[in-house]
């Protein structure tokens, strides 16, 4: 049975997956298992398919932001069992968790190695059905009415379905002020690039633009490299991610309040936090209990309410929701206590080069006044970009030019209906899909493993029955409510 769509039977039973990170890898493996008659082609730019950016561009010091129990994907062997065969590599994590591997925060590189191994074990040479892995960059969708993609090297792959699983995109420049500076060697546009800190004097001052998880990773990476110079991290509010804390349970409490506006829900969360703390339960369990309802809440909000949340509440939600492992928090506090790292709430106001290897960064502190900081590097730690209408990504440009996709008005990603991408006309595609962060406009939080696995499983079930033209499943966001506080 071939995939069904407007064009009938396709020349080959092929599904193309653009991106070989977490979402692309898990999807490819699960679809191939459900439909062994299909050829599932994973196209990945990186040298180590399966890892992606999150689990590839990191050092052994970087830890997962959640415990092992929340990184299960449904693949065999389970991640926890795979880890159990590597006692030396998880010794520190087990010591921290009191011997409970499910509650341990292990190295991010281990999860990357796990995914890479699963993909390598399943891949074929491409002459038979199964998982095929191609290294390259997708440049455009096929034209002449054909479905599929074309790589930069000219290879063309026709397919019954194409799934975009590109993960988080590289960060955009942090502002429009003195944009000329971003073309100088003193600016680091992508902190994960291999040469990001080449030739940096270890005693030189560094400015980190952003105070979120990327900043935490970069500050610790610099310290690990032996950097002893001062680091200043700035963002509009100066908020830093909170740490995980073990213990306690709290029941889900938002299911009956879906549809209420952001401010009302914020008050409910605060009330639950106060109640939990009065009972000795950490506030972290309240946020865990709220997570399963987030997709449904987001889907019910109006555009105005979504804007309100993004402008006024997102930053505070993020630092409580996207937390750091205890060891990472301790290392960050060490940098702060030693005075090597400082956090400020400020905006960038301008740049002025001086001395050939320094830049004076003018700052506008929150609350008024002026400030300045001399830096040898300005590092973009603002996190992944999402406003696709402002990015010149060849594949996205190709799809948009043909009206096959529709970037959302809030700059979060692509409009979709239960993973099926929505065309410029408003029609739901019968062959083009997306997973992960690209679908943020519909799901909001779709970067963590539990949410991505739910999304992957729904799309696999849909494609495995060949019902590509069946239309979106109603109330897709409700699927998250079944995950419970364990999400």
Q: What is the pLDDT of residue 476?
A: 62
pTM for the complete prediction?
0.90
DSSP string, 408-441: -TTSSSB-EETTEEEPTTSPEEEEEEE-GGGGHH
Q: What is the pLDDT of residue 178?
A: 87
Are the CB atoms for 405 and 421 separated by under 8 Å? Answer: yes
Q: What is the pLDDT of residue 368?
A: 84
Residue with tokens 């796990």: 114
Q: For the chain, which ranges sit under pLDDT 50?
A: 1-10, 467-474, 485-487
Are the CB atoms for 382 and 209 separated by under 8 Å? Answer: yes
Q: What is the pLDDT of residue 445?
A: 86
Beta bridge partners of 206: 231, 377
First-to-last alpha carbon distance for the chain, in angstroms, is 36
The token duo for 425 is: 């006309």
Q: Which secondary-structure segment (H or E) carries 200?
A: none
Give 159's contacts (C-beta < 8 A, 6+ positions apart).
10, 12, 14, 15, 16, 41, 147, 148, 149, 431
H helices of 135-179, in order, are none
- CA distances for 303 relative to 100, 261, 313, 321, angstroms: 43, 11, 15, 22
Q: What is the pLDDT of residue 212?
A: 94
Residue 420's nearest CA partner among 395, 442, 396 is: 442
What values do phi and psi take at 189, rounded to 5?
-70, -35
Residue with tokens 């940098």: 335
Cα 275 from chain centroid (whole Å)? 32
- Do the domains at 14-169+386-486 and 179-242+324-380 have one common CATH topology? yes
What's the CATH fold of domain 179-242+324-380?
FAD/NAD(P)-binding domain (3.50.50)
Interval 237-290: pLDDT, tens: 999 999 999 899 999 999 899 999 999 999 999 999 999 999 999 999 999 999
H helices of 77-159, in order, are 79-84, 91-96, 108-122
Provide the CATH number for the domain formed by 14-169+386-486 in this structure. 3.50.50.60
- Report how far residue 134's alpha carbon sits from residue 44's, in angstroms, rounded to the nearest whole number: 6
- Domain extents in the chain: 14-169+386-486, 179-242+324-380, 255-321
């Amino acid at each position: 049975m071939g995939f069904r769509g407007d064009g009938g039977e396709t020349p080959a039973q092929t599904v193309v997956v653009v991106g070989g990170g977490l979402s692309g890898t898990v999807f490819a493996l699960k679809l191939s298992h459900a439909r062994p008659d299909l050829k599932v082609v994973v196209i990945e730019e990186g040298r180590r398919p399966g890892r992606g950016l999150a689990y590839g561009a990191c050092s052994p010091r970087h830890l997962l932001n959640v415990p092992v129990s929340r990184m299960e994907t449904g693949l065999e062997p389970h991640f926890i069992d795979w880890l159990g065969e590597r006692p030396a590599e998880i010794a520190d994590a087990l010591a921290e968790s009191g011997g409970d591997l499910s509650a341990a925060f292990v190295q991010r590189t281990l999860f990357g190695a796990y995914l890479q191994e699963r993909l390598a074990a399943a891949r074929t040479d491409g002459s038979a059905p199964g998982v095929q892995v191609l290294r390259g960059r997708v440049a455009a969708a096929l034209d002449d009415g054909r479905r599929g993609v074309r790589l930069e090297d000219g290879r063309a792959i026709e397919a019954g379905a194409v799934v975009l699983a590109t993960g988080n995109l590289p960060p955009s420049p942090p502002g429009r002020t003195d944009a000329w500076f971003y073309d100088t060697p003193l600016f680091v546009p992508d902190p994960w690039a291999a040469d990001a800190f080449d030739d940096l004097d270890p005693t030189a001052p560094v400015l980190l633009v952003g105070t979120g998880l990327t900043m935490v990773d970069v500050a610790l990476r610099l310290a690990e490299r032996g950097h002893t110079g001062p680091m200043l991290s700035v963002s509009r509010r100066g908020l830093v991610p909170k740490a995980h804390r073990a213990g306690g349970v709290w029941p889900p409490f938002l299911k009956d309040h879906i549809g209420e506006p952001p401010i009302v829900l914020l008050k409910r969360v605060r009330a639950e936090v106060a109640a939990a703390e009065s009972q000795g339960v950490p506030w972290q369990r309240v946020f865990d209990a709220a997570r399963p309802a987030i997709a449904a809440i987001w889907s019910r909000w109006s555009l105005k309410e979504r804007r309100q949340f993004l402008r006024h509440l997102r930053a505070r939600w993020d630092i409580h929701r996207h937390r750091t492992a205890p060891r990472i928090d301790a290392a960050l506090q060490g940098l702060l206590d030693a005075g090597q790292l400082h956090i400020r709430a400020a905006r960038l106001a301008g740049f002025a080069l001086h001395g050939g290897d320094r830049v004076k960064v003018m700052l506008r502190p929150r609350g008024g006044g002026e400030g300045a900081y001399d830096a040898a590097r300005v590092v973009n730690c603002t996190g992944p970009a999402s406003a696709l209408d402002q990015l010149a990504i060849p594949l996205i440009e190709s799809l948009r030019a043909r009206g096959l996709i529709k970037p959302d008005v809030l700059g979060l990603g692509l409009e979709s209906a239960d993973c099926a991408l929505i065309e410029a006309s408003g029609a739901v595609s019968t062959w083009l899909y997306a997973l992960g962060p690209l679908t943020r406009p519909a799901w909001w939080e779709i970067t963590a493993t539990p949410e991505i696995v739910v999304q992957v499983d729904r799309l696999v079930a849909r494609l495995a029955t060949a019902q590509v033209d069946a239309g979106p499943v109603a109330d897709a966001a409700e699927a998250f409510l079944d995950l419970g506080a364990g999400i």
